C-alpha cells in the first residue's frame, strides 16, 4: 500500500527538487536501490530555526479538528469535539467519553512531542511548530473552496486537491501512533544531514538537545529512544527546506507522485447534508487493500470526506493484457496526456459514508472523533421490501 511513496522517495526526480550537496549521508551504508541521490555543491543562506514557547503540541492539526467541532460558531478557545473510545472494534462499538465533548485546544496533542531541545531559560524549546503551521494555514480555506466549487459544478479544483492532500499527509508523518510506519515509508532519509552550517546546528540539537520528556513519551507510545530520535530526524529532513527557493523533501515527493504521467490519480469527494463523518486519531485511513494501488481517506469536515487513489495502470493490468499492448498504451498515455487528477463528487451517498466510517473505526489507534453525539452511520442502509 505504501510502496508508491517509498518508490517516489527513492526516485531521482524527487532528488531533483533538492539542491545538490544540500544534504549528505550520515552513514555511507545506506543506498537507495531505485536511484542515486548524488549531489554537487550548491550553497545558500538559510534562516536560523528559532525557539518558541509552544509546549502543548498537536499531532492532528487544530484546523482539521475545528472543521469537526460540535460548536463551530463558538470562539476557537471554546470549541469542542466529541471523542469516542473503541469499546469493541470487531463489532464497531463506540463509547462516548465526555457528553460535553473535548476542548479542541487540548485534544490530540502531547506536551513537547516534537521538542528536540528544551532550553533552561524562558521556557523556550526548539520544535517543528513553524514548519507545521505552513500547511495548517490553508486547510479551512481550501476545504470550503473545494466543496463550494464542486457544489457549483466547477471541477477546476486541482490546486485544492493537491494542497489538501499534502496537508492531510502531514498529519500522518507527525502522528505518534504511526512512527514505525512513517520510518518504513521514507527509508533512509533520517540517515542524511544538511550541509548548511545553520541548518546543521539545528539538526544536531535533535541528537544532543535536552529532552526531559523523552522517557515518558517513549514509554507512553511504546517506542524506544532510537525510534523516537530517528522519527525526529526524519521530520526535520522531510519538512525543512534545504536551500532558499527550493521545496523540501516532502513536497518534492508529493509533486513527483502526483505529476508522474505513469500514474492514474483519482479523488472521490463525498459530502452530506446531515450525516457526520468520523475523524481518526491517526488522521487518515486506507480504503482498499491492494498492492497495485495506494489509497488514502481523509476527513475534510464534519460532513465531508475524500478518498485519494494512485495506481500504475501497467501494474494493475499486468497479466490481464498483452505486454506489448500495455507498453504501447502506456507510452502513448505519457506522451499525450498531461498530469491530471480525476475528481468525482457525490452527495448523500450513505453506502460510501458507512464504508468510510467503518474503515476509520477499524484503523484508528484507539479513538475516533465527531461533531455529533449520536451514533454515526456504520452500515449500509437496507432497502425496504414489500
The whole-number pLDDT of residue 321 equals 55
Give the other-Cβ count within 10 Å of 222's Cβ: 11
pTM: 0.85
pLDDT over threshold 60, residue 258? yes
Residue-level pLDDT at 49:
83
The string of pLDDT tens digits covering residues 127-169 is 999 999 999 999 999 999 999 999 999 999 999 999 999 999 9
Q: Look at residues 3, 350, 1 and name the one whose alpha carbon lies nearest to residue 186.
A: 3
Residue 382 confidence class, pLDDT cut points 50, 70, 90: low
Work out the pLDDT band at 16, boundaries 50, 70, 90.
very low
pLDDT score recorded for residue 174: 98
Q: What is the pLDDT of residue 15?
A: 45
3-state DSSP of the chain:
CCHHHHHHHHCHHHHCCCCCCCEEECCCCCCCCCCCCCCCCCCCCCCCCCCECCCEEECCCHHHHHCCCCCCCCCHHHCEEEEEEEEECCCCEEEECCCCCEEHHHCCEEECCCCCEECCCCCCEECCHHHHHHHHCCHHHHHHHHHHHHHCCCCCCHHHHHHHHHHHHHHHHCCHHHHHHHHHHCCCHHHEEECCHHHHHHHHHHHHCCCCCHHHHHHHHCCCHHHHHHHHHHHHHHHCCCCCCCCCHHHHHHHHHHCCCCCEEEEEEEECCCCCCCEECCCCECCCCCCCEEEEEEEEECCEEEEEEEECHHHHCCCCCCHHHHHHHHHHHHHHCCCCCEEEEEECCHHHHHHHHHHHHHHCCCEEEECCCCCCCCCCCCCCCC
pLDDT digits (tens, 9 = 90+) for 225-242: 999 999 999 999 999 998
Mean pLDDT over each residue of the chain, to the nearest integer: 84
Looking at residue 190, its pLDDT comes to: 85
pLDDT at 119 over 60: yes
Highest mean pLDDT among 37-51, 297-311, 330-344: 297-311
- Span 303-330, mean pLDDT? 69
264-292 residue pLDDT tens: 899 999 999 999 999 999 999 998 765 66
Q: Is the pLDDT of residue 259 over 90?
A: no
Amino acid at each position: 500500500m505504501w510502496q508508491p511513496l517509498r518508490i517516489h522517495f527513492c526516485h531521482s526526480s524527487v532528488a531533483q527538487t533538492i539542491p545538490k550537496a544540500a544534504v549528505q549521508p550520515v552513514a555511507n551504508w545506506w543506498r537507495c536501490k531505485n536511484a542515486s541521490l548524488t549531489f554537487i555543491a550548491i550553497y545558500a543562506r538559510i534562516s536560523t530555526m528559532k525557539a518558541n514557547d509552544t509546549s502543548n503540541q498537536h499531532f492532528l492539526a487544530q484546523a482539521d479538528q475545528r472543521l469537526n467541532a460540535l460548536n463551530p460558531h463558538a470562539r476557537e478557545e471554546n470549541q469542542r469535539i466529541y471523542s469516542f473510545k473503541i469499546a469493541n472494534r470487531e463489532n464497531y462499538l463506540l463509547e462516548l467519553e465526555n457528553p460535553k465533548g473535548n476542548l479542541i485546544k487540548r485534544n490530540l496533542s502531547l506536551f513537547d512531542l516534537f521538542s528536540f531541545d528544551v532550553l533552561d531559560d524562558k521556557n523556550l524549546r526548539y520544535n517543528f511548530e513553524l514548519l507545521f503551521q505552513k500547511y495548517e494555514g490553508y486547510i479551512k480555506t481550501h476545504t470550503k473552496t473545494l466543496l463550494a466549487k464542486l457544489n457549483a459544478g466547477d471541477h477546476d479544483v486541482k490546486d485544492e486537491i493537491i494542497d489538501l492532500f499534502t496537508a492531510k499527509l502531514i498529519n500522518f508523518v507527525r502522528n505518534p501512533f504511526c512512527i514505525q510506519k512513517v520510518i518504513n515509508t521514507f527509508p533512509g532519509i533520517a540517515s542524511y544531514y544538511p550541509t548548511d552550517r545553520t541548518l546543521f546546528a539545528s539538526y544536531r540539537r535533535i541528537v544532543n538537545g535536552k529532552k526531559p520528556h523523552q522517557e515518558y513519551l517513549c514509554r507512553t507510545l511504546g517506542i524506544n529512544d532510537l525510534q523516537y530520535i530517528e522519527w525526529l530526524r526524519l521530520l526535520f529532513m522531510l519538512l525543512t527546506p534545504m536551500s532558499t527557493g527550493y521545496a523540501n523533501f516532502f513536497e518534492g515527493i508529493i509533486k513527483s507522485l502526483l505529476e508522474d504521467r505513469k500514474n492514474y490519480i483519482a479523488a472521490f469527494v463525498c459530502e452530506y447534508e446531515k450525516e457526520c463523518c468520523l475523524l481518526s486519531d491517526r488522521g487518515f485511513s486506507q480504503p482498499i487493500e491492494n498492492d497495485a494501488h495506494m489509497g488514502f481517506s481523509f476527513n475534510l469536515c464534519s460532513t465531508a470526506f475524500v478518498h485519494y487513489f494512485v495506481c500504475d495502470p501497467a501494474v494493475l493490468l499486468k497479466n490481464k493484457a498483452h505486454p506489448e499492448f500495455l507498453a504501447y498504451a502506456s507510452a502513448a498515455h505519457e506522451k499525450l496526456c498531461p498530469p491530471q487528477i480525476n475528481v468525482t463528487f457525490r452527495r448523500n451517498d450513505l453506502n460510501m459514508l458507512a464504508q468510510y466510517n467503518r474503515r476509520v473505526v477499524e484503523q484508528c489507534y484507539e479513538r475516533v472523533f465527531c461533531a455529533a453525539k449520536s451514533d454515526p452511520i456504520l452500515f449500509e442502509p437496507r432497502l425496504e421490501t414489500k
